[in-house]
Amino acid sequence: MRRHNKSSLLRKLFRILFLFLVLTLLVSALRGRFALTVSHYTLHTEKLTESIRIVHISDLHNRSFGKDNRHLLAQVELQKPDLIFVTGDCVTRSRPERQISLDLLAALTEIAPVYVSMGNHEEAYDLRNGTDLYTLYTETGARVLEKEYADITLKGQSLRVGGIYGYCDPERTANPDDVFLRDFQNTNRYTLLLCHRPVSWLEKDALEFWRVDSVFAGHAHGGQIRLPLIGAVIAPDQGFFPGWTEGVHYAEDGMRVLIVSRGLGSSIFVPRIFNDPELVVVDISPAT
């Protein structure tokens, strides 16, 4: 009788633990679909005399946070950004929808100047649908940068904002990205580069090789599924348990920096688990 009672108790405990796990995963998946987390980072540089604030958006994949993305837009406006960066994959290559992204970009331009770089889904979307997203994005009022840069003055300070879709891998010979990057880094201005893919900056020493003050990237979706105490499970170009799929990463000299967003949406059926959609806010302040 005691053995039977013990076995029954263990079965009940197992069922409770299983139910708890299922509910936890369900809540996490719902948060990954509808929640919005704001991550704040502060960088320092001797090239600026006054702080600037950047809101960084990545990997929307046609996600809507409220009707017409009103919740997302409200959160962006609340941050009072000086600049808004969008680092690619606003659309999803396998879905024809694009109006959500176009409407969002147009609305963002009412808040602050918007700079956009392209992602792998934009490239594949154009090939699949015979479109020109570069032109469509530009028509929203955003400035699209593909191996291009803009020298701007903000709060009396000189900045260079550039964008590139590519790996920026310094180990590749005859890399077509090289010409642009050499030109881009040839300045005394504070440089900000929008580059969708982070892998070369993390694993190929691009952050050490290229003299770029700050790089903004996405692509990895934070690993899509994140496990407690372990982190990201898998990331594009980085494989299983990549480790680096979010946050701020410094070059060895502590001067140049890469900011990786977990992004907002998803391009695959697998839900975001323990991985809330992320809006990144970066304050770049004078060095003290």
Query: What is the full DSSP assignment across 55-115?
Result: EEE---TT--SSGGGHHHHHHHHHT--SEEEEES--S-TT----HHHHHHHHHHTTTS-EE
The one-character DSSP state at 139 is: T
Phi, psi dihedrals of residue 158, rounded to the nearest 5°: -95, 120
CA quadruple 214, 244, 143, 93: dihedral, nearest 10: 160
Q: Taking 60 as the threshold, does the pLDDT of residue 279 lie above it?
A: yes
β-pairing verdict for 114-117 and 83-87 = parallel
What's the pLDDT at 252? 94
Summary mean pLDDT of the chain: 90
Residue with tokens 């003055």: 153
What's the pLDDT at 32? 52
The number of residues making up the chain comes to: 288
What's the pLDDT at 266? 86
Instruction: Choose from 135-144, 166-175, 222-231 the range with maximum mean pLDDT.
Output: 135-144
What's the pLDDT at 53? 98
| Residue whose C-alpha is closest to residue 59's, from 209, 182, 208, 235 | 235
What's the pLDDT at 165? 92
3-state secondary structure of 15: helix
- Alpha helices, DSSP H only, in the chain? 2-34, 70-78, 99-108, 120-129, 133-138, 177-185, 199-203, 206-209
Q: How confident is the model at residue 188 (pLDDT cuts 50, 70, 90)?
A: very high
d(CA 137, CA 126): 12
d(CA 140, CA 129): 19
Ranking 26-40, 135-149, 167-181, 217-231 by mean pLDDT, the lowest is: 26-40
| Residue whose C-alpha is closest to residue 196's, from 172, 173, 164 | 164
Q: How confident is the model at residue 236 (pLDDT cuts 50, 70, 90)?
A: confident
User: How large is the average pLDDT for residues 161-172?
Assistant: 91
What's the pLDDT at 186? 98
Residue with tokens 């892998």: 199
CA angle 95, 99, 104 (to 5 degrees): 120
List Cα–Cα distances, 252 to 8, 167, 174, 205, 220, in angstroms.
58, 20, 26, 10, 23
The pTM of this model reads: 0.91
What's the pLDDT at 230? 82
What's the pLDDT at 26? 64
Q: Taking 90 as the threshold, does the pLDDT of residue 244 lie above it?
A: no
